[in-house]
């Protein structure tokens, strides 16, 4: 059953002629547009502020975000002047004021705006600037003024060290519940104020007689600092964030609200409520803590703000009542806190906030309309402190219905409560347990007061009402609904009191107001889909006084059959949406959507998983007029088989998600998601090089789409048989016949290629020629000489190194199986070495660098056949002399005996004739200068 939280307010409206429409205030309707704060012409850094910390809020729409250590505008706003300003202060840092993740704040803003109809601040636009502590006050003021002069900045101001309000009253008798006057009933509502004053409270005793009146099924978070969470009268908190200065202020606040009904100590107003604490100590990040509390609570829960801040009027210039208190004002005076509170109340969370003990009129022009509800309304319940005096006749503290001398006041103040003489847990001035050994867990006080005690009392009243509403209707009141209820049902202030402090909550009157005429509820309707003109029967409770029925906000004609049933006619202009029934007590909204026409339905589909392209059979109803089918929002090709069956192909690019079928009357979404096998992903492999037989592990994800045996892995196009294959790893050894390259993994869901390559070591098969002179083109043949950087050689982009006898050679071209280069000057004979990403290989054969042969001499110069001749010169052969030169005498080959590169011996052959010697090698031919004479 769907209920809107504001039904409680509408209920209140029907029962009092003084009540206003839903979400209204006594003075004016809530604003929808956000009003930016007014920039001061000059900022004064004085009082309780941190001069080394500045809060900056950028204008809405600039989308300024912190990326790394730099602020950037995602909307293109000019931040140059801002950045230049900060650069003038070395050591300055910038951090987000609201620490929750950016997407969480964005989603919270969208949801709260949609729920409330209010335009909210983008809390991601708030930043805290941390300045060097050595800056003077004048320098800090100059910087703030310069920041406020920038168009991109909405406002800048020093971060304040906010205070905890207080009001001391001399201790009296240590009597516990009998002294908790704020719990008792007031005189009958509307009666004249009693004289002399008597104990008057909020009548918590009456509330406790109802289910939920003790705050059951509610939560609240106290935002301040200083709790003793192990006190004997407390249960454990459900939430805690920030530090704890160990003070007693928060302890006193908690005792008022959740002091347990355990027969000793104090009795809290809402002891069954779950509580949390959010401390702004020691960072003084108040708005951030309010936002953290917002994230931890649900609509109808409560945030209690027990802090106040320094106002705009130095030296207490507005304090006209003679109390010596600092010029403190409500915490929402600060723009960042206001925006945090407004976000909370827009989300449906009730915020109770102390008006502050500053003795100021919040309507004073010095506040620039910040507390004018028609211009700026946070949605919080603002609480003033009521005067409490000691009754000399009874010895009891009594509520006078006047304003405490120190309290702030004005038209923005909603309610008041006891501002002194409050008995609660706390400092121990009333009771400390064993006097000889005081125990802080048994400390109680009778001197707690100020707007601190008043706000805690009001928060307790709110929790009591919310617990009751949860039990009564299963839903809690909206923030503005419960604020209106409190302001219209409370005990009025004294007739003689001119200051506007609102009424003190009266739970008996508020409870009675809620019980007289409950708001309507909708439990269901039939049929759930129909065309215009059809009759729909609506079932629920309290329907007998229905004044309006709507289908998606279009008014319909209807007939009330009973308190539990209405017949309504679907209007001609109706569209698909929720059904609402309005009575004088409120509006009920159906939890189910009414569908105009006969939209499709999906009962099942098969298969429930598969890769892109998989054929899926969808079963349901009303498929005949289907216009589209989608998988997780991506359109798919489909065929309508019958009115109950569709065949569709899972589209490429669709992730896992529901299947949707659309026809002219609506859309159906499957309750189950179709699982799309994601394409494989290679994240790494190891090792990155190695020879045939190397064990390799390819790591990643999605290697098995449906079945692992459908997966293939290749290296540079060559199929590899894995030894093991799992969804996240593939194991195998490098087979023979593969070459260096990238891995590819293919599954039914797609193919992925590794970013890096696997390199096999290079191999040299042979080179040609084996001997050559400088300048000769040489080719080396083998494998795995390169992979990604093959072709004509580029020194700036290469992966292959070639050396000859240790000297680097620059190739002209490099291919996987072929390297070509020109033998450079300075090259010497030796072995080739080739180095790649896969390793290094050295040739087994020797390459000879050789020039054309030279002949320096031969001896003897003559002789008969068979004469042994010695010849000297150079380059007769390589090193070693594996290739013999060809030596001739006048064209007749001689008989070689011994050959060295610079020396050889041979004999004169038979048939030789007188002439010159010629020496021929692969590099060239040389003819002797002299003639050898063959003698008989």
Nearest CA-CA partner of 497 in 391, 392, 419: 419
Cα maximum dimension of the chain: 167
Final residue in a domain of this structure, among 758, 776, 800: 758
Q: Is there a single domain that holds both residue 800 and residue 657?
A: no
572 and 695 co-located in one domain: no
Query: What digits encode the pLDDT tens for the residues 531-543?
Result: 889 999 999 988 8
- The number of beta carbons lying within 10 Å of the beta carbon of residue 821 is 21
Domain end residue (candidates: 842, 875, 909): 842
Confidence check: pLDDT of 523 > 60: yes
Q: What is the pLDDT of residues 268-326, one digit of tens each?
A: 999 999 999 999 888 788 899 999 999 999 999 999 999 888 887 644 444 444 565 56
Q: What is the pLDDT of residue 29?
A: 35
CA pair distance 165, 226, nearest whole angstrom = 13
Q: Above pLDDT 90, what percent of the chain?
A: 55
Q: Is residue 172 part of a domain?
A: no
Cα–Cα distances in angstroms (integers) from residue 465 to residues 215, 322, 476, in the given order: 7, 36, 8
- Model confidence at 729, pLDDT cuts 50, 70, 90, reads very high
Q: For residue 155, is pLDDT > 90?
A: yes
323 is a domain residue? yes
CATH number, domain at 355?
Answer: 3.40.50.200
Q: Please give the Cα distance from 85 to 63 (Å, whole number).
A: 20
- Strands 868-874 and 903-907, by their bridges, are antiparallel
Mean pLDDT of the region 551-561: 93
573 and 506 in a single domain? The answer is: no
**Does the CA dihedral 374-376-379-380 come out positive or negative?**
negative
Last residue of a domain, one of 160, 195, 218: 160
- Check residue 851 and give its pLDDT: 81
Q: How confident is the model at residue 874 (pLDDT cuts 50, 70, 90)?
A: confident
Q: Span 733-752, mean pLDDT?
A: 91
> What rounded mean pLDDT belongs to the chain?
86
Q: Kindly give the pairing relationship between strand 868-874 and strand 886-889.
A: unpaired
How far are the Cα atoms of 174, 481, 713, 886 from residue 231, in angstroms, in the given order?
18, 34, 66, 113
Q: Helices 450-473 and 249-258 sit at what angle, rounded to 10 degrees?
A: 30
Based on the fold, state whether residues 794 and 663 are members of the same structural domain: no
Please state, in angstroms and rounded to a whole number, the distance separating the CA atoms of residues 218 and 211: 13
Q: Around Cβ 696, how many Cβ atoms within 10 Å?
A: 22
pLDDT of residue 195: 53
Say if residue 929's pLDDT is above 60: yes
- Asked whether residue 818 falls in the same domain as residue 860, the answer is no
Strands 628-631 and 634-636: antiparallel
Core vs surface per residue 275-288: b (16+ CB within 10 A) or e: bbbbbbbebbbbbb
Alpha-helix residue ranges (DSSP H) falling in 702-777 = none
| Residue 29 included in any domain | no
Answer yes or no: do 233 and 378 share one domain: yes
The reported pLDDT for the residue numbered 323 is 61
Strand 917-921 to 886-889 pairing: antiparallel
- Report CA-CA distances (Å) from 318 to 46, 369, 370, 451: 18, 15, 16, 18
Per the model's pLDDT, the better-predicted residue between 40 and 235 turns out to be 235
DSSP character at residue 877: S
Question: Same structural domain for residues 493 and 541?
Answer: no
Which whole number is the average pLDDT over 128-156? 90
List all residues 6 or more positions away from 220 whose beta carbon is below 8 Å from its beta carbon.
Answer: 257, 273, 274, 275, 276, 297, 301, 302, 303, 304, 459, 463
d(CA 9, CA 492): 20
Q: What local confidence, expressed as pLDDT, does residue 311 receive?
A: 82
Asked if residue 27 is part of any domain, the answer here is no
Q: Which distant-in-sequence residues (6+ apart) come within 8 Å of 49 by Cβ?
A: 158, 159, 160, 161, 310
Q: Of 106-120, 737-751, 891-905, where does mean pLDDT reach its minimum?
A: 106-120
What is the spatial distance between Cα 454 and Cα 209, in angstroms, rounded to a whole number?
A: 23
Give yes or no for residue 730 having a pLDDT over 50: yes
Q: CA nearest 476: which of 107, 114, 215, 183? A: 215
Sign of the alpha-carbon dihedral angle for 466, 471, 472, 473? positive
What is the per-residue pLDDT for 26?
Answer: 32
Q: In sequence order, which residues have a C-beta less than 8 Å from that of residue 336 and are 6 or more positions away?
A: 55, 57, 97, 123, 126, 286, 287
Instruction: Mark whether 565 and 620 lie in a shared domain.
Output: no
178-182, 239-243, 322-326: segment of lowest average pLDDT = 322-326
Please give the pLDDT value at position 879.
64
755 exposed, middle or buried (CB, 10 Å; 0-12, 13-18, 19+)? exposed
Determine, yes or no, domain membership for 255.
yes
Q: Are 378 and 505 within one domain?
A: yes
The owner of tokens 């009191």 is 497
Residue found under tokens 């009548």: 203
pLDDT digits (tens, 9 = 90+) for 411-424: 999 999 999 989 99
**Containing structural domain, residue 606:** 601-676
pLDDT given for residue 107 in this prediction: 92
What is the rounded distance in angstroms from the CA atom of residue 33 to the CA atom of residue 19? Answer: 24
For the entire predicted model, the pTM comes to 0.52
Of the chain, the percentage scoring pLDDT greater than 70 comes to 91
For 811-856, the pLDDT digits (tens) are: 999 999 999 999 998 888 899 999 998 899 999 988 888 888 999 9
Residue 672 shares a structural domain with residue 562: no
Confidence at residue 666, expressed as pLDDT on a 0 to 100 scale:
81
Residue 363 has pLDDT above 70, yes or no: yes
Number of domain units in the chain: 7
Instruction: Provide the pLDDT for residue 194.
Output: 53
Question: Would the CA dihedral through 793, 795, 800, 805 be positive or negative?
Answer: positive
* pLDDT tens profile 579-591: 999 876 678 899 9
Distance CA 477, CA 300 (A): 6
Q: Is the pLDDT of residue 25 over 50?
A: no
Predicted pLDDT at 309: 87
Q: Is the pLDDT score of 23 beyond 50? A: no
Residue 737 within a domain: yes
Q: pLDDT band at residue 499, thresholds of 50, 70 and 90? A: very high
pLDDT for the residue 578: 94
Q: Which of these, 589, 625, 599, lies nearest to 529 by C-alpha position? A: 599
Non-local CB neighbours of 232 within 8 Å, separated by 6+ positions:
264, 265, 441, 442
855: phi then psi, degrees, rounded to nearest 5: -120, 115
pLDDT tier for residue 17 given thresholds of 50, 70 and 90: very low
Q: Are residues 323 and 427 in the same domain?
A: yes
Contacts of residue 780, defined as CB under 8 A and 6 or more positions apart, other chains included, come to: 764, 766, 767, 802, 818, 819, 820, 832, 834, 843
- Which residue's entry shows tokens 């039904």? 7
The SS3 call for residue 568 is strand
Find out whether 566 and 546 touch, Cβ atoms under 8 Å. Answer: yes
Bigger pLDDT: 528 vs 618? 618
Domain contains 346: yes
Confidence of residue 596 (pLDDT cuts 50, 70, 90): confident
Q: Are residues 377 and 399 in the same domain?
A: yes
User: Over the range 406-435, which residues count as b (16 or more CB within 10 Å of their CB) and which as e?
Assistant: bbbbbbbbbbbbbbbbbbbbbbbbbbbeee
Segment holding 461, helix H or strand E? helix 450-473
| Whether residue 860 has pLDDT greater than 80 | yes
Using one digit for the tens of pLDDT, what is the confidence trace for 689-720?
999 999 999 999 989 877 788 899 999 999 99
Kindly report the CATH number assigned to the domain that includes residue 526: 2.60.40.10
642 lies in some domain: yes
pLDDT confidence bin for 152, thresholds 50/70/90: very high
Higher pLDDT, 32 or 628: 628
């Amino acid at each position: 059953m769907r209920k809107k939280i504001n039904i409680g307010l509408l209920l209140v409206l029907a029962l009092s002629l003084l009540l206003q429409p839903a979400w209204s205030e006594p003075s004016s309707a809530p604003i929808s547009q956000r009003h930016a704060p007014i920039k001061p012409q000059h900022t004064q850094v004085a009082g309780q502020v941190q001069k080394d910390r500045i809060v900056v809020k950028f204008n809405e729409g600039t989308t300024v975000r912190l990326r790394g250590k730099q602020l950037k505008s995602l909307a293109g706003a000019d931040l140059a002047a801002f950045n230049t300003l900060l650069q003038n202060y070395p050591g300055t840092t910038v951090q987000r004021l609201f620490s929750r993740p950016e997407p969480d704040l964005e989603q919270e803003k969208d949801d709260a705006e949609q729920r409330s109809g209010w335009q909210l601040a983008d809390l991601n636009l708030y930043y805290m600037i941390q300045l060097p502590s050595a800056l003077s006050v004048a320098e800090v003021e100059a910087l703030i003024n310069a920041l406020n002069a920038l168009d991109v900045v909405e406002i800048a101001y020093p971060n304040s060290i906010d205070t905890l309000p207080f009001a001391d009253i001399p201790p009296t008798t240590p009597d516990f519940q009998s002294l908790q006057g704020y719990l008792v009933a007031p005189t009958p509502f509307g009666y004249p104020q009693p004289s002399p004053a008597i104990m008057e409270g909020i009548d918590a005793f009456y509330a406790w007689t109802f289910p939920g009146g003790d705050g059951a099924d509610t939560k609240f978070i106290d935002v301040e600092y200083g709790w003793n969470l192990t006190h004997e009268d407390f249960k454990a908190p459900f939430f805690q964030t920030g530090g704890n200065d160990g003070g007693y202020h928060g302890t006193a606040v908690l005792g008022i609200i959740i002091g347990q009904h355990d027969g000793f100590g104090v009795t809290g107003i809402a002891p069954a409520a779950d509580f949390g604490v959010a401390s702004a100590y020691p960072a003084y990040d108040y708005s951030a803590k309010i936002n953290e509390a917002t994230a931890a609570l649900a609509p109808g829960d409560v945030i209690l703000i027990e802090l106040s801040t320094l106002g705009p009027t130095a030296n207490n210039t507005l304090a006209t009542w003679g109390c010596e208190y600092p010029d403190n004002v409500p915490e929402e005076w600060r723009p960042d806190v206001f925006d945090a509170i407004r976000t909370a109340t827009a989300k449906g969370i009730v915020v109770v906030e102390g008006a502050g003990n500053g003795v100021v009129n919040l309507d004073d022009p010095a506040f620039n309309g910040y507390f004018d509800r028609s211009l700026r309304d946070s949605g919080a319940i603002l609480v003033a402190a009521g005067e409490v005096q000691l009754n000399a006749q009874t010895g009891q503290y009594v509520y006078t219905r006047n304003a405490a001398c120190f309290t702030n006041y004005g038209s923005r103040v909603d309610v008041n409560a006891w501002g002194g003489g409050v008995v609660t847990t706390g400092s121990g001035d009333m009771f400390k347990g064993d006097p000889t050994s005081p125990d802080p867990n048994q400390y109680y006080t009778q001197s707690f007061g100020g707007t601190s005690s008043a706000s805690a009392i009001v928060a307790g009243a709110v929790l009591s009402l919310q617990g009751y509403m949860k039990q009564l209707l299963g839903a809690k009141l909206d923030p503005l609904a419960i604020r209106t209820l409190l302001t219209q049902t409370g005990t009025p202030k004294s007739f003689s009191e001119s200051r506007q402090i609102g009424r003190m909550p009266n739970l008996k009157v508020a409870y009675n107001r809620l019980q007289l005429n409950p708001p309507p509820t909708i439990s269901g309707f039939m049929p759930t889909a129909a065309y215009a003109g059809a009759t729909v029967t609506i079932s629920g409770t309290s329907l007998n006084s229905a004044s309006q029925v709507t289908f998606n906000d279009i008014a319909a004609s209807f007939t009330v059959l009973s308190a539990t049933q209405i017949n309504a006619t679907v209007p001609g202009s109706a569209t698909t949406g929720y059904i609402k029934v309005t009575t004088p007590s409120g509006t009920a909204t159906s939890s189910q959507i009414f569908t105009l026409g006969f939209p499709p339905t999906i009962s099942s589909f098969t298969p429930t998983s598969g890769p892109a392209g998989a054929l899926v059979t969808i079963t349901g109803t009303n498929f005949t007029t289907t216009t589209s089918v989608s998988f997780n929002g991506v359109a798919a090709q489909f065929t309508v088989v019958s009115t109950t069956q569709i065949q569709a192909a899972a589209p490429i690019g669709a992730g896992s998600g529901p299947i949707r079928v659309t026809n002219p009357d609506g859309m159906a979404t499957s309750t189950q998601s179709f699982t799309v096998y994601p394409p494989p992903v290679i994240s790494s492999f190891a090792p990155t090089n190695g020879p045939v037989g190397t064990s390799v592990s390819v790591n990643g994800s999605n290697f098995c789409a449906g079945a692992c045996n459908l997966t293939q892995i290749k290296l540079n196009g060559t199929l590899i048989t894995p030894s093991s294959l799992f969804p996240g790893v593939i194991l195998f050894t490098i087979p023979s016949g593969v070459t260096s390259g990238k891995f590819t993994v293919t599954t039914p869901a797609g193919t992925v290629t590794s970013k890096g390559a696997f390199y096999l070591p290079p191999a040299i098969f042979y080179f040609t020629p084996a001997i050559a002179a400088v300048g000769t083109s040489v080719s080396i043949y083998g494998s795995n000489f390169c992979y990604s950087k093959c072709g004509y050689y580029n020194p700036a982009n290469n992966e292959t190194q070639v050396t000859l006898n240790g000297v680097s050679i620059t190739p002209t071209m490099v291919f996987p199986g072929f390297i070509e280069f020109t033998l450079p000057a300075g090259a010497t004979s030796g072995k080739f070495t080739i180095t790649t990403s896969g390793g290094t290989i050295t040739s087994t054969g020797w390459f000879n660098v050789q020039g054309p042969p030279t002949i320096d001499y031969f001896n003897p110069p003559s002789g008969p056949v068979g004469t042994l001749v010695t010849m000297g010169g150079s380059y007769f052969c390589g090193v070693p002399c594996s290739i013999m030169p060809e030596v001739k005498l006048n064209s007749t080959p001689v008989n070689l005996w011994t050959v060295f590169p610079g020396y050889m011996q041979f004999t004169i052959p038979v048939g030789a004739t007188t002439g010159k010697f010629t020496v021929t090698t692969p590099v060239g031919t040389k003819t002797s200068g002299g003639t050898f004479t063959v003698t008989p």
